[in-house]
Amino acid sequence: MNTDEKAINAITERIIGCAYKVASKLGCRFLEKCYENALAHELRNAGLSVEQQVSLKVWYDDVVVGEYVADLIVEGVVLVELKAIQSLDTIHSAQCINYLAATKLPVCLLINFGKRVDVKRIAGSALAAARSSSVSICAPSVANEPVGATDV
């Protein structure tokens, strides 16, 4: 494991710890936006930089063909997608994979504040190495212009 991976793992551990703190205080009865704001607050209190509701554009032949909104990006390297539902489904993991393709970030934490806290860690580097296509994707807050290609 290299130094970057260790740093990213340390950040994800801190995010997960903050998620459990939020869950212990709020419980499981609120809408996703409440958890997003509470988690962003906890992360900032923990000294981490946090962007909320980050717009991610999908480009095809120099035309924007879609747009996503990521819940949180922490320290510029970890994407956090939040849910407040009964249970996670494969579509939620697919959503994270698309967000990772759009941002070129190394990891996404999919966190559900449903019945209990459920965390899935999805790595982006394997996706980037395994796939390629002619679709150009960019996240304005993460990259300045459309970047390399991955499936959406």
Sequence-distant (≥ 6) Cβ neighbours of residue 33 within 8 angstroms:
none
Residue 46 has pLDDT above 90, yes or no: yes
Sequence-distant (≥ 6) Cβ neighbours of residue 34 within 8 angstroms:
26, 84
- Mean pLDDT of the 89-115 span: 93
Q: What is the CATH number of the domain that holds 51?
A: 3.40.1350
Residue 80 has pLDDT above 90, yes or no: yes
Sequence-distant (≥ 6) Cβ neighbours of residue 100 within 8 angstroms:
79, 107, 108, 122, 124, 127
Domain count within the chain:
1
Least confident of 25-29, 40-44, 45-49, 138-142: 138-142
pTM of the model: 0.79
Residue pair 120/109 in contact (Cβ under 8 Å)? The answer is yes
Residue % of the chain over a pLDDT of 70: 80
Residue 149 has pLDDT above 70, yes or no: no
Residue 2 has pLDDT above 50, yes or no: yes
Residue pair 89/79 in contact (Cβ under 8 Å)? The answer is no
Residue 134 has pLDDT above 80, yes or no: no
Residue 127 has pLDDT above 70, yes or no: no
Instruction: Give the domain extent around 88.
Output: 3-149
